[in-house]
Amino acid sequence: MAWWVLFLSVLTILSYLSDVEVLTFFDKMKVPFFNASILSILLLLCTLGILVRMISRQKKGEKERLRERIAQLEREIKL
């Protein structure tokens, strides 16, 4: 997760520098069929990657909590 955030931070800095016209070579790179720069598309993809990872981790945590609860209930039944 830290790598995603680090990469996203670098892309955000590059995007900012491109917006203030410090880095002009990113303006020439456009994504076909979109009216967006390559940095905007990369920022979107990184953000989606982080979102998918967060959702999958949350589901994994829910499954672990349910397994713990089932084990606890089974112990209570045996008593």
Give the model confidence (pLDDT) of 14-44 as tens digits.
777 777 777 777 666 666 666 666 777 777 8
More confident residue, 79 or 71: 71
Question: What are the residues facing 37 on neighbouring strands?
Answer: 30
| Burial of 39 per CB tally in 10 Å (0-12, 13-18, 19+) | buried
Amino acid 56: pLDDT: 84
Q: Assess contact for 14 and 26: CB atoms under 8 A.
A: yes
Give the model confidence (pLDDT) of 43-62 as tens digits.
788 888 888 888 888 888 88
Widest Cα–Cα separation across the chain: 72
More confident residue, 76 or 21: 76
pLDDT grade for 72, boundaries at 50, 70 and 90: very high
